[in-house]
Copies of this chain bind each other. A is one copy, B any other.
Amino acid sequence: MFDFTFYNPTKIVFGRGVIAQLPGLIPAGKKVMLVAGGGSIKRNGVYEQIRRALDGRAMVEFFGIPPNPLYETCLEAVALARAEKVEFLLSAGGGSALDATKFIAAAVPYAGKEPWDMFYDWSLVPADPLPLGCVLTLPATGSEMNGGSVVSRKATKEKRYFLSEGVFPRFSILDPQTTFSLPPRQTANGIVDAFVHVLEQYLTYDVTAPLQDRQAEAILLTLIEEGPKALAEPENYNARANLMWCATNALNGLIGCGVPQDWATHAIGHELTALYGLDHAQTLAAVYPGMMQHSRRRKREKLLQYAARVWRLETGDEETRIDAVIARTEDFFRSLGVGTRLAEYNIPKEAGRLVADRLAKQGRPLGERGDLKSQDVEAILQLRA
């Protein structure tokens, strides 16, 4: 097992009607800014529950955070928060609203000229961002229980992230009932997103960390079992609750303790979103089967373990089992309704070269051993044409 540090101070408040607990979670007397997307929280009753819970509190609102939250939009929110002397940020929505909120929390006290620089140098993130909490309405990104923020910049077609202890939500309110009305596409995207978050931390190489392996497999098995149920029965409380708790556990840091991590598929996917506007989960569903195929030698032992323990592929020739588990994974994504081929998203053939070049320019090592080269990135995307 590798050495590690684990720290996660977010308080999770999970269950039916828990938005009503908001008054006890936001310190009294603090001026709150609500940060939200395009207005879905007004349609599903979440906004009303929040306003009722915080009745009488000083509050301003910022609506309009788009999916793949835009830096340009966030800066408007930063200006409002500064002008209104906001003291606490409350995100309401999915991972996009929350990631935007984390960035805004860091950018409000940011003293430099260009807050975007924080994404290139994480040490620039202020030590004391505005405190923030969230009401989560879309299980997917895991942002509700981590210190990460992913933001896109329209002007430069970049999608970047930072990690900082200061932007862990003070609390995250998870009421599975708020997810009953999600469109199937968002539910399916969330399942794929959580699934690939786990694979990025699990499907690498063995370092004798059997507990972390099994904790990862626990999430994968449960997503396979509960994900389709949530899609088929949108108001099945337990299916929604299990899905929501899986997504949180997929990226709260626990399964990544002391093990190698990959994340190359995410790096590639971020570029595809930045260039072509795909949903985040669509990029993962399209790229990950290629990653498995391309890395079948370097990920061999873990692919066989994943095949056996998650998909019960325990007999037969090893190469055949690996072929089968790659197919099963892709089939699972497709069964949820998420396309797994770049052509389905009208991605041109030259995307491979373009993405590889952009990643090479960023200069970050890719893959669990840091040895994926530009030609590997191109090859992976070729496999997924």
Interface string of A213-255 (1 = CB under 8 A from B): 0110111011001100000000000100110011001000010
Within the oligomer, what is the number of copies of this chain? 2
Interface string of A197-225 (1 = CB under 8 A from B): 00000000000111110110111011001
The reply to whether A11 and B16 contact each other, CB–CB distance below 8 Å, is no
Chain B residues closer than 8 Å to A238, beta-carbon distance? 1, 208-209
A13 proximal to B (CB < 8 A): yes
Chain A positions 136-154 with a Cβ under 8 Å from a chain B Cβ: none
Contact of A211 among B8, B15, B18, B245 (CB under 8 A): B245
The reply to whether A7 and B11 contact each other, CB–CB distance below 8 Å, is yes
Q: What's the least CB distance linking A306 to chain B, in Å? A: 15
Given A7-B11, A15-B2, A221 and B214 contact (CB-CB distance below 8 Å): yes
Bound form: Cα–Cα A313–B190 in Å: 35
A sample of 5 inter-chain contacts (CB < 8 A) reads A6-B11, A210-B225, A214-B217, A215-B249, A218-B218
A39 proximal to B (CB < 8 A): no
Contact of A210 among B3, B210, B242, B257 (CB under 8 A): B242
Q: What's the least CB distance linking A191 to chain B, in Å? A: 13
Bound form: Cα–Cα A242–B2 in Å: 11
A80 proximal to B (CB < 8 A): no
Bound form: Cα–Cα A11–B147 in Å: 14
Most buried by B among A6, A215, A222, A249: A6
Bound form: Cα–Cα A1–B12 in Å: 15
A258 proximal to B (CB < 8 A): yes
Contact of A3 among B1, B4, B14 (CB under 8 A): B14
A315 proximal to B (CB < 8 A): no
Q: What's the least CB distance linking A167 to chain B, in Å? A: 15
Chain B residues closer than 8 Å to A6, beta-carbon distance? 11-12, 14
Contact of A222 among B15, B214, B226, B257 (CB under 8 A): B214
Residue of B nearest to A215 (CB): B218
A9 proximal to B (CB < 8 A): yes
Q: What's the least CB distance linking A197 to chain B, in Å? A: 14
Chain B residues closer than 8 Å to A8, beta-carbon distance? 8-9
Bound form: Cα–Cα A27–B3 in Å: 23
Residue of B nearest to A238 (CB): B208
Interface string of A1-33 (1 = CB under 8 A from B): 111111111111111101000000000000000
Bound form: Cα–Cα A139–B151 in Å: 41
Bound form: Cα–Cα A6–B241 in Å: 15
Most buried by B among A1, A15, A241: A1
Given A211-B222, A238-B208, A18 and B1 contact (CB-CB distance below 8 Å): no
Chain B residues closer than 8 Å to A214, beta-carbon distance? 214, 217-218, 221-222
Given A254-B254, A257-B14, A242 and B5 contact (CB-CB distance below 8 Å): no
The reply to whether A249 and B219 contact each other, CB–CB distance below 8 Å, is no
The reply to whether B210 and A241 contact each other, CB–CB distance below 8 Å, is no
Chain B residues closer than 8 Å to A246, beta-carbon distance? 211
Bound form: Cα–Cα A333–B258 in Å: 28
Residue of B nearest to A176 (CB): B1
Residue of B nearest to A226 (CB): B210
Residue of B nearest to A252 (CB): B254
The reply to whether B14 and A4 contact each other, CB–CB distance below 8 Å, is yes
Q: What's the least CB distance linking A79 to chain B, in Å? A: 32
